[in-house]
Amino acid sequence: MDLSPATARQIARIFEKDTGQRLGDDRLWRVNAMLTPLCRRLGVEPSDLAGRAAADPRDPAMTQVVDALLNNETSFFRDGAVFRQIQDDILPELALRCAASRRIRIWSAGCATGQEPYSIAMLFAEDPERWQGWSIEILGTDMSRAALKRASAGNYTAFEVQRGLPGRLLGNWFVEKTDGSWTIVPQIAAMVRFAPHNLMRPPPGQRSYDLVLCRNALLYFPPHNRAVVLAGLAAAMKPDAALILGAGETAGADARQLVADADLLTVFRHAA
């Protein structure tokens, strides 16, 4: 039931049209690797699945195709240097900048199964004296409904909590279940909500967020679509907000409205 190269390219084109992300010839292996088992589960031929998705993007099968092809790789406190920078530089900045309202809004775009927004929530929870009386609102968004369902449940395997999560934080902010999995405690879950969002669409709020994170997602978008995504991220940022991209990612010429922070790595600000 392997996909033919022609069918794989057809599905890749449909995927790009729906998500803005490109699966070039060097990544067509992913189409075959991810969709062959999906076709087996659905009991359909790959060419039939491609035909259904092309004929009607609202076909329920298309949702499963997108979920299968999206890269949901993530972990708690992924790239430790980034989170040290958030803790040591970004959060103190937000404490000063938002002191009058005592309200901080953060958007984690492309959050997959939720480890990034929960990691940020733990940074706040670990410093209760500083943030006593503050309203901390963290939004995690992703295109994958399956990933968001897992994120909302806040339940992770033993393997997932061992990736990047210090033992002290595991003990402080998770409860172990009888099956060996771990569930985030209500105090952390209360700071975070999840919603579906396509990065090619307008952001969930104009000039609403004090901090936006979109890490390790831009590399999957071709230049024109990357510019659309960056414009949406910039539109969501308050005038003095910060945007954090992934290591090696840059706004570059794709977003004239953003410039690199002179002092902080992978951080971008509104251009003057």
Strand pairing of 192-196 and 182-184? unpaired
Which residue is it, tokens 């995504």? 229
248: Cβ contacts below 8 Å, ≥ 6 apart: 219
CB atoms inside a 10 Å sphere around CB 164: 17
Q: What's the chain's Rg over C-alpha atoms?
A: 20
Token code pair at residue 206: 């104009």
Q: How many CB atoms lie within 10 A of CB 34?
A: 17
> Which has the closest alpha carbon to 249: 238, 233, 265?
265
State how far the Cα of 203 lies from the Cα of 232, in Å rounded to an integer: 5
Which amino acid does the sequence have at 246?
Answer: G
Q: What is the 3-state secondary structure (H, E, C) of 166-201?
A: CHHHHHHHEEECCCCCEEECHHHHCCEEEEECCCCC
Q: Can you tell me whether residue 238 is helix, strand or coil?
A: strand
**pLDDT score at 167:** 95
Q: What is the pLDDT along the chain (272 residues), one digit of tens a residue?
A: 567 888 888 889 989 999 999 998 888 888 888 888 888 888 888 778 777 877 777 778 788 888 999 999 999 999 999 999 999 999 999 999 999 999 999 999 999 999 999 999 999 999 999 999 999 999 999 999 999 999 999 999 999 999 999 999 999 999 999 999 999 999 999 999 999 999 999 999 999 999 999 999 999 999 999 999 999 999 999 999 999 999 988 887 666 789 999 999 999 999 87
Is this model's pTM higher than 0.85 or not? Answer: yes
Q: Which residue has the tokens 């953060």?
A: 106
Report d(CA 122, CA 224) in Å as an integer.
36
Count other Cβ atoms within 10 Å, centred on residue 223: 10
Tokens (6 digits) for 31: 């189409």
Tokens of 145: 């409904």
Question: From the CB of residue 146, how many other CB atoms can be counted at a distance below 10 Å?
Answer: 16
- CATH code: domain 5-69 is 1.10.155.10
- Per residue in 25-54, pLDDT tens? 888 888 888 888 888 888 888 778 777 877
Dist. CA 221–CA 125, nearest whole Å: 34
CB 84 within 8 A of CB 118: no
- The reply to whether domains 5-69 and 80-270 share a CATH topology is no
Distance CA 195, CA 263 (A): 32
pLDDT tens string 122-145: 999 999 999 999 999 999 999 999
Which pLDDT belongs to residue 253?
A: 67
| CB-CB neighbours of 251 under 10 Å | 22
The token pair that represents 105 in the structure block: 């809004």
Is CATH 3.40.50.150 correct for 80-270?
yes
Show the tokens assigned to 8.
Answer: 């794989």
At residue 244, the 3 state secondary structure works out as strand
Sign of CA dihedral 83, 88, 94, 95: positive
Q: Where are the domains of the chain?
A: 5-69, 80-270
How confident is the model at residue 138, as a pLDDT? 98
